[in-house]
Amino acid sequence: MSQFEHQDELNHPRTQTPELTKIVEQGLSRRRFLGAGAALSAVAFFTLSPMSKSLASVLAPSGSPLLGFKSVPVSTADRVIVPEGYQVERLISWGDPLFSDVAEFSNTITQNTAASQKRQFGDNNDGMSFFPIDDQTAVLAINNEYSNYELMFAHQGKKMTAADVQYAQAAHGISVITLTKQAPGWRFQKDGQFNRRIDANTPMRISGPAQGHALLQTQVDPKGEIALGTFNNCANGMTPWGTYLTCEENFNSYFGSDAQVDLSSAFARYGIAAQDAGYSWYKFDQRFDLAHEPNEANRFGWVVEIDPYNPNAMPVKRTALGRFKHENAELVIAEDGRVVVYLGDDERGEHIYRFVSRDKYNPNNQAANRDLLDEGDLFVARFNDDGSGEWLSLAHGQNGLTAENGFHSQAEILIHARLAATQVGATTMDRPEWVAVHPHEPMVFCTLTNNKNRGVQEGQSVNGANPRAENHYGQIVRWVPTDGQHTAGDFKWDLFVLAGNPAVHAGTPYAGSGNITTENMFNSPDGIGFDQAGRLWIQSDGNYSNQGDFAGQGNNQMLCADPKTGEIRRFLTGPVASEITGLSFTPDQKTLFVGVQHPGEKLNPSHFPLGGDSVPRSSVMVITRVDGGVIGS
């Protein structure tokens, strides 16, 4: 990445009295907001740290030169709403056939089959990346995170059969689709040469330091080298050598057993339990039965690398990036040429990680980069309350990661990355979701979506970067690595925004930071990404009840922020009971792909996107400007 120009944003705080400090101190006097022990450290933090002072820069939240569109109001409508001068169209939806010899999705849902779904667009699209080929052709790789049984099955998941499980497994994974540029814009190309489905049964290679480890060996794969499938693929990343990274998140939910099982403490830390989350895979597919195959669960929770240009290429699970509930994988080439990948682990009280490759990226020989993600060092973040932070090494033999403490090898550290992170003293965070690196400055942002357990649960007391107990709104933390080097051992951080509801909680920390107003409020930031101009796009996956703590916030939404001024403006609102997740721009920045996930979940009344009495279906939307201009400008 490029030059380090704006460290002063963090290191030379403005002299104004920071409004946030006042707000938080007022809030702290109200015992109901913060747990007892936590309050002192939070006061000390907000009074002393450069973090709160840097937020003074957000106190003039209007007129950003970066934000050129007119904000949209909150909405509870069952459609996607974009600003004046913009247009939004449907690109592809759950069940759309990728090939012309495959059945269309049927609104008579009992007609839909596993065989068709294996060659149809998957369900619950999430993170995605656009891979250009030429001006007229491109590939879009899209995660299909999970399925909503209440919308997929007439019995709503209550009477699962083997065929139903196969259908659900086929709806998971990744869809790779060919796009062509037509007169009205970028469109999905049925039968396109890159079209491909990867699902919960697609063979993939296990690579890196944990390949072949005893904990990854199963009866079907005694060498621990070939796993079947990927699922709960949440967010994503892309590499400069032209591959797609897909991140396995809540993999634990798919395992279970009706037999008596003796589960290890590591399983408990990963949420793997005899009771699954209701998917019922273990009842019909033995490898998901913990009693039958205890190691199968260790083969999930990884980042998987996929070549979107070769439909026959076998995906690769890159174990060097650690095993946890991965959100996305934000990759940046450091100034010295090494590859840095920032990774969030989305669970209450889990951590933020960083991988640094051993070898350097070679821009002149893409083939030479293919295994860069197999060798390198993994770190986990500590956020000190004084605004400093450091990357703690997860290398075997360091920081107590020794056999005496239960870590016998690097492979075992990677498989049990969460346990290793605790051993080295990582900071517990409010559910780390996406990480995004600024395109022109060494500045990194991570969404911390919310955490109802903060200040309530043992081990999750309030801390500087996670300053609010019972945090229902979330925040975005950002950091600048020392000397602007993504490979540096430490960093300075602040909070870019504390989401909140100033209409309901005025004068308390739950109103949010100074850049949150009744005009732009939202809860639970999740997907984030930068465009080339340095606008930060923020997507929400929060409470859409529009009531109580969330009154006036409407459906989930997408916003756009100016990282310099802190201004945040609402760009889009989603349909009923949906989450907005997944974003990717074309290189000319004139087309934006946005994901609408699980409209109508939990049987909320939605018929998005086709209307009438159709089944609501997750969809990828294409957004352009009527005048053909750059999005957001």
Footprint of Ca ion on this chain (CB under 5 A)?
Answer: 449, 526, 541, 579
- What is the number of the residue whose Cβ is closest to Ca ion? 541
Q: Assess 78 for contact with ligand FEO (CB under 6 A).
A: no
**What are the DSSP E strand ranges found in 254-375?**
303-306, 316-318, 326-333, 338-345, 352-360
Burial 7-35 (b: 16+ CB within 10 A, else e): bebbeebeeeebbbbebbeebbeeeebbb
How many other β-carbons are positioned within 10 Å of the β-carbon of residue 400?
12
- Residue 285 interacts, among ligand FEO, Ca ion, none and using kind-specific CB cut-offs from 5 to 8 Å, with none
- Single out the residue of 131, 177, 114, 143 nearest to residue 618, CA to CA: 143
What is the per-residue binding string for ligand FEO in 313-332, x denoting contact by CB under 6 A? --------------x-----
Number of residues interacting with ligand FEO: please give it, by CB under 6 A.
6
Give the separation between CA 249 and CA 251, rounded to whole angstroms. Answer: 6
Nearer to Ca ion, 243 or 449 (CB): 449
Burial 503-513 (b: 16+ CB within 10 A, else e): ebbeebbbbbb
Q: Assess 249 for contact with ligand FEO (CB under 6 A).
A: yes
Q: Assess 433 for contact with ligand FEO (CB under 6 A).
A: yes
- Residue 249 interacts, among ligand FEO, Ca ion, none and using kind-specific CB cut-offs from 5 to 8 Å, with ligand FEO
Nearer to ligand FEO, 119 or 431 (CB): 431
- Contact (Cβ atoms closer than 8 angstroms) between residue 237 and residue 174: no
Q: Pull the structure tokens for residue 136.
A: 């007229």
Q: Pull the structure tokens for residue 488.
A: 């540096």
What is the per-residue binding string for ligand FEO in 93-132, x denoting contact by CB under 6 A? ----------------------------------------
Give the separation between CA 474 and CA 466, rounded to whole angstroms. Answer: 9
Position among 199, 289, 293, 346 found at the interface with ligand FEO (CB under 6 A): 346
- Residue 120 interacts, among ligand FEO, Ca ion, none and using kind-specific CB cut-offs from 5 to 8 Å, with none
Q: Assess 234 for contact with ligand FEO (CB under 6 A).
A: yes
Q: Assess 347 for contact with ligand FEO (CB under 6 A).
A: no
Half-sphere exposure in the Cβ direction for 205 (13 Å, CA): 13
Overall size of the chain counted in residues? 633
Starting from the edge strand earliest in sequence, which strands make up the sheet with 525-530, in order? 525-530, 536-540, 557-561, 568-573
Could you say which residues in the range 590-629 bind ligand FEO, by CB under 6 A? none
CB of 247 to ligand FEO, least distance (A): 9
What is the per-residue binding string for ligand FEO in 268-307, x denoting contact by CB under 6 A? ----------------------------------------
How many other β-carbons are positioned within 10 Å of the β-carbon of residue 630?
16
Could you say which residues in the range 125-154 bind ligand FEO, by CB under 6 A? 145
CB of 449 to Ca ion, least distance (A): 5
Q: Pull the structure tokens for residue 574.
A: 């989603």
- Residue 80 interacts, among Ca ion, ligand FEO, none and using kind-specific CB cut-offs from 5 to 8 Å, with none
- Single out the residue of 493, 490, 468, 482 nearest to residue 386, CA to CA: 493
CB of 222 to ligand FEO, least distance (A): 32
Nearer to ligand FEO, 232 or 515 (CB): 232
Nearer to ligand FEO, 322 or 566 (CB): 322
Binding site for ligand FEO (CB under 6 A): 145, 234, 249, 327, 346, 433
